[in-house]
Amino acid sequence: MKVLIVGSGGREHALAWKLFQSERVEKIYAAPGNDGMSDLAESVAIAADDIPALADFADQHKIGMTVVGPEEPLLAGIVDYFVERNLPIFGPKKQAALLEGSKAFAKQILKKYKIPTAEYQVFTDHDLALNYLENASYPLVIKANGLAGGKGSIVAANYQAAETAVARLMEDKAFGDAGDRIVIEDFLSGEELSILALTDGQTILPVISSRDHKAVFEGDEGPNTGGMGAYAPSPYVDKKLMDQIAREILRPTLHALNSEGIDYRGVMHIGMILTSNGPAVIDFNARFGDPETQVVMPLLADDLLKLMEMTNNVELKYLTEVKLNNKEAACVVLCSAGYPFAYQTGHEINGINNLLNYDDLIIFHAHSRYENNKFYTDGGRVLGLTVVGSGILEVIDKVYNYIEEIDFEDMHYRTDIGFTLSELPNSDSDKND
């Protein structure tokens, strides 16, 4: 079978890496792809948001499965368009993808169906938002309603910070139209985690937990990014907690969508906080997370293509669980200094060849360019270094040891991925498999 991956970052590289292992996959294309994944997939010069051109390519090349990486094409209706043309594609339709595309819509669903989440208010007027904030209790979280590349959520410790956040979203248009409507919600305290689940509209199947690190600086300080690193599985999630999450969040969310007439098929990636009252939903992704995918794919023992087909064909009821390797994985993202704001590119990446012979290390390229037998930086997030092994603390230490062998000008990365694990009495004792 021929597979087309839509997108160009580290997530798409990780998806290509996993799909390449399927015996049924004979050829992988990536549109537009990146130079670092050229040994797995042939790049196609079609933008991820050029839906008609992607569909024409899939039709002409007899693509057996198109996999959508980024969220923008999903919200633009790529799945609807492909389905209308009888082209196989993995991902939710436009209406279902609103679970990610509109924070207000997601919160309305959660509140209506009594699924645990923070209390909130929605505003379209700048002055009304400020009036509300004057008498609010802090800290609060202020979010752009629409897509903001994972960067549109701001924690405000006081009114001054909240006022600045509202101005940045609604007046300065830091994230364009995504900030025309904002959600202001109570701050929830606790350990963060994400749950990756597959759903075919009738069955929802939890796959694995993970932990992303959004803030650009150590200690979760600074502006949010698309993700600075991740590990999986979360040692905070044992089987009992995963069953509780399935019972109180996953299945009720699927029931809620069905009750609203929404047929959701694909990945549901749910961000949560483990509060003192139990798990509560922060937000939804309607696609594979990034960089979580870079730690999840190496732990997946099942054939990814098979799982996608079973999801599309409403066959998940025949699976009791998704098979995982009995390992842990950690990823640290190497960025260009200045990200997520202004940064320079075009710097030579040194040391990649030194790392190619380590069996426990996978290098996922996010934004790199290959020219004259050398890699150069080509974006904000450049590389993701993922180590797979036993013992999450040991795995994280290994990632940082490998990072010492790689370098490029203005390289920035967080040195504390997994910093909350030190709070566990035995961080390697609980697994969610």
Buried b (16+ CB within 10 A) or exposed e, 268-307: bbbbbbbeeeebbbbbbbbbbbbbbbbbbbbbbebbbbeb
The burial of 84, by beta-carbon neighbours within 10 Å (0-12 exposed, 13-18 middle, 19 or more buried), is given as exposed
Cβ count near 90 (within 10 Å): 26
DSSP state letters, 228-239? SEEEES-TT--H
pLDDT on residue 433: 41
Lookup: tokens for 136: 């609010």
CA–CA dist 390, 402 (Å, integer) = 17
Residue 409 has pLDDT above 90, yes or no: yes
Lookup: tokens for 262: 């929404």
Please report, to the nearest 10 degrees, the dihedral formed by the alpha carbons of residues 204, 208, 211, 212 taken in order: -70
CA–CA dist 36, 394 (Å, integer) = 27
Buried b (16+ CB within 10 A) or exposed e, 412-424: bbbebbbeebeee
89 with 79: CB under 8 angstroms?
Answer: yes
pLDDT on residue 427: 42
CA–CA dist 256, 201 (Å, integer) = 11
pLDDT digits (tens, 9 = 90+) for 4-59: 999 999 999 999 999 999 999 999 999 999 999 999 999 999 999 999 999 999 99
Q: Percentage of the chain with pLDDT > 70? A: 97
Residue 428 has pLDDT above 70, yes or no: no
pLDDT digits (tens, 9 = 90+) for 173-188: 988 998 999 999 999 9
pLDDT digits (tens, 9 = 90+) for 219-257: 999 988 999 999 999 999 999 999 999 999 999 999 999
pLDDT on residue 152: 85
pLDDT on residue 423: 66
Rounded to 5°, angle at Cα 232 from 231 and 238: 135
Residue 413 has pLDDT above 80, yes or no: yes
CA–CA dist 217, 199 (Å, integer) = 34
pLDDT digits (tens, 9 = 90+) for 340-352: 999 999 999 999 9
pLDDT averaged over every residue in the chain: 95
The burial of 43, by beta-carbon neighbours within 10 Å (0-12 exposed, 13-18 middle, 19 or more buried), is given as middle
Mean predicted confidence (pLDDT) in 122-126 = 94
Q: Is 152 helix (H, G, I), strand (E, B) or coil?
A: coil
378 with 368: CB under 8 angstroms?
Answer: yes
Partners of residue 285 on adjacent β-strands: 269
CA–CA dist 108, 99 (Å, integer) = 10
pLDDT on residue 422: 74
The burial of 214, by beta-carbon neighbours within 10 Å (0-12 exposed, 13-18 middle, 19 or more buried), is given as buried
pLDDT on residue 432: 41
Which CA distances in Å does 401 have to 67, 386, 396, 404? 33, 12, 9, 6
Q: Give which of 34, 50, 54, 97 is closest to 287, Cα–Cα.
A: 97
pLDDT on residue 55: 98
pTM of the model: 0.94
Cα 280 → chain centroid = 18
Residue 426 has pLDDT above 90, yes or no: no
pLDDT digits (tens, 9 = 90+) for 136-180: 999 999 999 998 877 888 899 999 999 999 999 999 998 899 899
Q: Is 343 helix (H, G, I), strand (E, B) or coil?
A: coil
341 with 216: CB under 8 angstroms?
Answer: no
Residue 271 has pLDDT above 50, yes or no: yes
pLDDT on residue 150: 73
The burial of 55, by beta-carbon neighbours within 10 Å (0-12 exposed, 13-18 middle, 19 or more buried), is given as buried
Which CA distances in Å does 50 have to 22, 102, 147, 329, 390? 28, 22, 18, 34, 42
pLDDT digits (tens, 9 = 90+) for 311-334: 999 999 999 999 999 999 999 999
CA–CA dist 328, 392 (Å, integer) = 6
Q: Give which of 105, 50, 113 is closest to 77, Cα–Cα.
A: 50
Residue 429 has pLDDT above 60, yes or no: no
335 with 410: CB under 8 angstroms?
Answer: no
Residue 101 has pLDDT above 90, yes or no: yes
Q: Strand 182-186 to strand 140-144: parallel, antiparallel, or no bridges (unpaired)?
A: antiparallel
Q: Is 132 helix (H, G, I), strand (E, B) or coil?
A: helix
Residue 106 has pLDDT above 70, yes or no: yes
What domains lie within the chain, and their CATH numbers?
2-94 (3.40.50.20), 119-186 (3.30.1490.20), 191-318 (3.30.470.20), 328-423 (3.90.600.10)
Q: Is 245 helix (H, G, I), strand (E, B) or coil?
A: helix
pLDDT on residue 148: 81
